[in-house]
Amino acid sequence: MTQTQPIAPPRGTEAPRRTGASVEVDHVSRRYGAVTALQDASLRAAPGEMVAVTGHSASGKSTLLNLIGGLDQPSSGSVLIDGTEIWREPDVARHRRELVGFVFQQHFLLADLTARANIEVALIGAGMPRARRRARALELLGEVGLAHRGEHQPGQLSGGERQRVALARALANEPRLLLADEPTGALDTATSQRILDLLGELRARRGMTLIIVSYDEQVGERADRMLTVTDGVLTANQ
Ligand SMILES: Nc1ncnc2c1ncn2[C@@H]1O[C@H](COP(=O)(O)OP(=O)(O)OP(=O)(O)O)[C@@H](O)[C@H]1O
Ligand SMILES: [Mg+2]
């Protein structure tokens, strides 16, 4: 058994640092050649809302998340974040970096870098000097309860710890919209619960909007709203 670390420091009743972004997905389709991964999907999330998206494998969940986060472009329809279409921005990458945090289905940490350095990489684009990047990465590791693992590489961390580093990296640029794709997919129930508690706390503290793809029933129970994707078609659960 590894020692149990508090996942985030205790806190009072701080007001959120900033408000979450609104999300408006309007009749969006995404075709990959002959495959229609998503068909005429519409979804709205109010600032600070938590929306859970579920559905079978290959139903189009990651496609939806990638489109919302501006990692992929719709074949038709539009995605507005705070009323702005990301693909109309002059600098899409910068706009995305300043607004959106991703926790990917595979954690995508760089294997040769330490946990701390993985987070620092996310801060390079923001033009932060090296010493500040380092301090900020350590602060973020503390926020996810991993201050003691900063010098470990991903291969030296447990699955849950890796997922927490990925979460810290996603938070590095203070996103107003956090998109999480199966953040608890590979974890046991207790660890999943801790990650979800952490996400909930971070959402309240930072005022983020959260869209989370998951098969996990715990996620649905915590969400304000739940949606299901079936063969590329998005529907709201009753
Ligand atoms: N870049 C791509 N090129 C071609 N087809 C793709 C691409 N990305 C996704 N697809 C296809 O689109 C469909 C939806 O994929 P998607 O990754 O959105 O599913 P998912 O619901 O996230 O599945 P899982 O739960 O297994 O992660 C699948 O049939 C997939 O093969
Ligand atoms: Mg997926």
Is residue 9 in some structural domain? Answer: no
Question: 129-166: per-residue pLDDT in tens?
Answer: 999 999 999 999 998 889 999 999 999 999 889 989 99
Ligand nearest to the CA of 215: 1
6 belongs to a structural domain? no
Name, in order, each residue with C-beta under 8 angstroms of 134's C-beta and a sequence gap of 6 or more.
116, 120
What is the CA(61)–ligand 1 centre distance, in A?
8
Alpha carbon distance 57, 46 (integer Å): 27
29: exposed, middle or buried (Cβ count in 10 Å: 0-12, 13-18, 19+): middle
- Indicate whether 92 pLDDT > 90: no
Look at residue 238 in the predicted model and tell me its pLDDT.
65
**Residue 1, pLDDT above cutoff 60:** no
Nearest CA to ligand 1 atom 17: 62
The verdict on residue 131 lying in a domain is: no
pLDDT score recorded for residue 195: 83
- Span 81-88, mean pLDDT? 90
Ligand 1 close to Cβ of residue 55 (< 6 A): yes
59: Cβ below 6 Å to ligand 1? yes
Atom of ligand 1 nearest to the CA of 64: 18
pLDDT for residue 219 is more than 70: yes
Can you give the residue range of the structural domain that contains 103? 23-113+175-236
Ligand 1, atom 16, residue with closest C-alpha? 60
Average pLDDT over residues 66-89: 93
Q: Which atom of ligand 1 is nearest to the CA of 229?
A: 21
Over residues 10-58, the pLDDT tens digits come to 444 455 557 899 999 999 999 999 999 999 999 999 999 999 999 999 9
Atom of ligand 1 nearest to the CA of 213: 22
Ligand 1 atom nearest residue 66's Cα: 18
Q: Find out whether 180 and 199 touch, Cβ atoms under 8 Å.
A: yes
Q: What is the CA radius of gyration of the chain?
A: 17
CATH of the domain at 84: 3.40.50.300
Asked if residue 220 belongs to a domain, the reply is: yes
Q: How many percent of the chain have pLDDT more than 70?
A: 92
Look at residue 92 and tell me if it is in a domain. yes
Residue whose Cα lies nearest atom 3 of ligand 1: it is 32
**Residue whose CA is at the smallest distance from ligand 1 atom 24:** 57
Residue 198 lies in a domain: yes
Q: Does residue 213 lie in a domain region?
A: yes
Q: Which pLDDT value is given to residue 17?
A: 58
pLDDT the model gives residue 8: 46
Q: What is the pTM assigned to this prediction?
A: 0.88
**For residue 235, which amino acid is it?**
T
Mean pLDDT, the chain, rounded, equals 88
SS3 98: helix
Ligand 1: which of 28, 59, 75, 106 to mutate, judged by most atoms within 8 Å of the beta carbon? 59
CA 155 – CA 3 distance, rounded (Å): 18
Say how many domains are in the chain.
1
State the pLDDT at residue 87: 87
Distance separating alpha carbons of residues 18 and 39, to the nearest angstrom: 33
Structure tokens at 109: 């940490």
Residue 124 lies in a domain: no
The CA distances from residue 45 to 6, 119, 166, 199, in Å, are 31, 28, 23, 17
Instruction: Give yes or no for a contact between 179 and 100, defined as CB atoms under 8 angstroms apart.
Output: yes
Closest residue by Cα to atom 28, ligand 1, is 58
Residue 232 CB–ligand 1 contact under 6 Å? no
Give the pLDDT of residue 193. Answer: 86
Q: Does residue 54's CB lie within 6 angstroms of at least one atom of ligand 1? A: no
CA dihedral 13, 144, 196, 110 (to 10 degrees): 150
* 201 or 23, higher pLDDT: 23
Mean pLDDT (whole number) for 120-127: 89
Q: Which single residue is written with the structure tokens 């229609």?
A: 36
